[in-house]
Structure 1
């Protein structure tokens, strides 16, 4: 039009050419997933991010109790994933005199930061192939919920950083195995990847896959923090032929995991099943994951351990505030114990029954920073797992469309066109950098508390403001049992639950 009709068309022609050039660049670049799926238009998001300070309160993520979730955690995770400094001028933006504010008790004489990343040996007396776990690992997220490229990026990042990648309950796929990252194979109520045609546990298939060199541990999922009491749901539109093959389910049909396991029905049967799984896995560490509900039920499991002389190698406590999967609103908001209460309950129960030294405890639920890691270790954990933060590291922008199969950055989708936007090499490097920087931050905090290793952290080092003029340490806020106390003389606050706990019955 500009060359044949009128020169007045030249401005529009130049604008169209420039837009086309930007679009071609967006489609060919491999750093930003959103630009590959939304060329040109995706730049609007980055323009908004450039004026982030003015929009801070609009974008900030809220914790389950309404408090800011460590400034803007997604921003912090992305800074670390990109290799930037996680620093902010002008001091804290949090009200340090507000009820619920928590901080660490630092030492006048801090210690030098250790040169090596701490490791936690996972494997009890019945385990013949123990595993040295990182302080921070990838929490359970299934292939099916996540795209193949997202799984590849997480696993390659785990391989680069030498930390563990939990597969989630969706089965053991080739994408978990391709890059050689250490795996925690999670088995849920659907027994995906090791199930019979009618949905029961298939021992032969389990033993075959558990023998793989990349599988370092096996985790039996009892419940999930976001939705304790109900099973997982994978919408039919996300059940591709590949997903169906990995899980052993019909293609295109919505997959609903049962709310409970068919293989056992009592605490004693659970513990016997754990022992059987460990034997089938060739002596590799086997444990279970749960969102804590009734303390009495967990004590019943502890009694079963004592009676049977069998313990899991680890227990992962999933907090009710965590969870990356879609869940009913009422379940997400009102069911299950938050991570602090659940973690302290499990730690105390194992201490009180004299079992703590045989079992390692993992903590999962909005763990994203070095401070989060140290906080959970001070409350009784040995290691932590992160899901949401790892999703941020591979490019999640919290579009909250995970259940629609229309994730704009290719993280939580089975749409090949959308998933291709996620570049595995770039995002795996981001996962590695995020993990390395976050664990290093935890080491720095530990050193500032005047201790040399995570095992020396104690509840009194973590403090909480309970009102504007009163501060209590966690040693004062909670009762802490001593080894074997429940077996000798239970404290009054535990007596009723301890007496009522029955190893032959789950009864809240």
Structure 2
């Protein structure tokens, strides 16, 4: 689109000039075309607005409709709280925090608070000023020789290939400045991830980055990459909330020569990872694989990510942990509401447990087996606000991961084009013409500011509750606390776990 602008602009100006020479009445059009050309060239070189860099003139239509959309939505389409999967209010909150501008909300809440869906923190009459130090959580069991101190909010798994190189570099540079980690996604560690930020290297069923020619796991390649100083933890991906039991999908349109080389696959082909690990057929296989990766990485924290499905399988896994005395350093619980760039609708909408009951179930199971002090829990699934971070903590998580919130911080507008390589903001695309519009230096700063301002909001909420750390948050501090516990008791009563006593 930008090249089209450069080609069409001189053609139109020259054409009008020729017409003006023969038909003097045409010269007035330069009063319109001249300023438009100047505006277009200016937008091409500015770095603050990706849409305007990629679409120098047409981009204004988006900003125009956005400016009047509250009235249009209010009277004709939808309210600002109705957008899916994230409301316009929530997207605007991320944009404001990432830009470091006023993030207050006018005219009171727009939520329907007199219904069963309303949730709130029960604040204290004796609120305290927020503490200055950002909370950290140490991840590493007794078997770990290189524990890691993690932020309570981090970048969730998104591969280079699913995201553009500029988006990947922006996220990593932002993570470096903000001292939080950046999960690589299952697409391996690319040089775009190595900008100095802490990494969690995710190992998926395709073993990208540590893959043999036949598609199996290569210990030597893993050991080489795991030794990188940027790699702080290893995460085995068993399943994800948006498509559990399906495997990752990289469309052929995104699988260029560079990405194929990084992953060890054929370029320009659609890559579908297997639905499960080829050598993991039960709990014992998984635990031995965890031990193998911990040994190969010289004692770095190793965990796994899953969307909870059959609860009896998870209980059997934890039983085997106790029996073999092998367990992960962390477990990432991904809710069915989690996001992805591409998945069949049936898997996105109808497979897996939501994060809320899954998180409580995993926490209670680990407590029951007396492993909770050894294993940290990471929550992943529509985490965006300070409230959602504290809510996850109350339900059993130690820290949180977020993907789409950080995508918003680098410019995502929820255009829902992640799966066809035509993301207009250059975030979820490998199209070079669109990617160039995303300025790394500018977006990295926005990633940092979003994280910083969100954690500051966490501290303010903690102060409102009269506590100083996320460890002090409990479920009874929430209005729906009793209802949350009742829901879990209904579907996962203690009787499910009593057989282990």
**Equivalences for 1:154-303 in 2 at 5 Å?**
154-177=171-194, 179-303=195-319
1:488 maps to which residue?
Answer: none
Structure 1 portions without partners, runs of 5+:
465-470, 481-490, 502-508
2:142 maps to which residue?
Answer: 125
**Equivalences for 1:303-452 in 2 at 5 Å?**
303-452=319-468
1:56 is displaced (CA, Å) by 4.6
Contact residue 70 and residue 80 of structure 2 kept, 8 A: no
Counterpart secondary structure, 1:384? strand
Counterpart secondary structure, 1:102? coil
Q: 1:112 to 1:421 in 2, by over 3 A?
A: same
Counterpart secondary structure, 2:479? strand
Structure 2 portions without partners, runs of 5+:
1-16
Q: 1:44 to 1:303 in 2, by over 3 A?
A: same
C-alpha distance in 2, partners of 1:239/1:61? 36
Counterpart secondary structure, 2:192? helix
Aligned residue among 111, 135, 157 for 1:94: 111
Out of 188-197 and 235-244, give the one that drifted further: 235-244
1:78 maps to which residue?
Answer: 95
CA offsets per residue over residues 428-460 of structure 1, 9 Å max, x none? 000000000111111111121122211111111
C-alpha distance in 2, partners of 1:423/1:495? 55
C-alpha distance in 1, partners of 2:86/2:266? 40
CA offsets per residue over residues 82-135 of structure 1, 9 Å max, x none? 111211122111111112111111111112211110000000000010000101
C-alpha distance in 2, partners of 1:479/1:451? 28
Contact residue 461 and residue 473 of structure 1 kept, 8 A: no
C-alpha distance in 2, partners of 1:201/1:331? 26
Counterpart secondary structure, 2:127? coil
1:220 is displaced (CA, Å) by 0.3
1:467 maps to which residue?
Answer: none
1:185 is displaced (CA, Å) by 0.3
Counterpart secondary structure, 1:463? coil
C-alpha distance in 2, partners of 1:156/1:310? 35
Q: For this pair of structures, how many residues does the alignment match?
A: 482
Q: 1:45 to 1:67 in 2, by over 3 A?
A: closer
Q: Are 2:25 and 1:13 aligned?
A: no
C-alpha distance in 1, partners of 2:85/2:126? 31
1:6 is displaced (CA, Å) by 4.5
C-alpha distance in 2, partners of 1:390/1:276? 32
C-alpha distance in 1, partners of 2:426/2:85? 27
2:157 maps to which residue?
Answer: 140
2:493 maps to which residue?
Answer: 493
Out of 340-349 and 4-13, give the one that drifted further: 4-13
Counterpart secondary structure, 1:72? helix
Counterpart secondary structure, 1:219? strand
Counterpart secondary structure, 2:365? helix
CA offsets per residue over residues 159-216 of structure 1, 9 Å max, x none? 0100000000001100001x20000000000000001000001001001100100000
Contact residue 319 and residue 336 of structure 1 kept, 8 A: yes
1:486 maps to which residue?
Answer: none
Q: Are 2:125 and 1:104 aligned?
A: no
Q: 1:82 to 1:176 in 2, by over 3 A?
A: same
C-alpha distance in 1, partners of 2:129/2:73? 35
Which TM-score applies when normalising by structure 1? 0.91
Counterpart secondary structure, 2:193? helix
2:61 maps to which residue?
Answer: 44
C-alpha distance in 1, partners of 2:253/2:88? 36
Q: 1:492 to 1:197 in 2, by over 3 A?
A: closer
C-alpha distance in 2, partners of 1:402/1:448? 38
1:275 is displaced (CA, Å) by 1.1
CA offsets per residue over residues 455-476 of structure 1, 9 Å max, x none? 1111111122xxxxxx945455
1:233 is displaced (CA, Å) by 0.9
C-alpha distance in 1, partners of 2:85/2:257? 41
2:130 maps to which residue?
Answer: 113
Q: Are 2:16 and 1:4 aligned?
A: no
Which TM-score applies when normalising by structure 2? 0.92
CA offsets per residue over residues 350-385 of structure 1, 9 Å max, x none? 011100010110101011111110110011100001
C-alpha distance in 2, partners of 1:492/1:380? 15
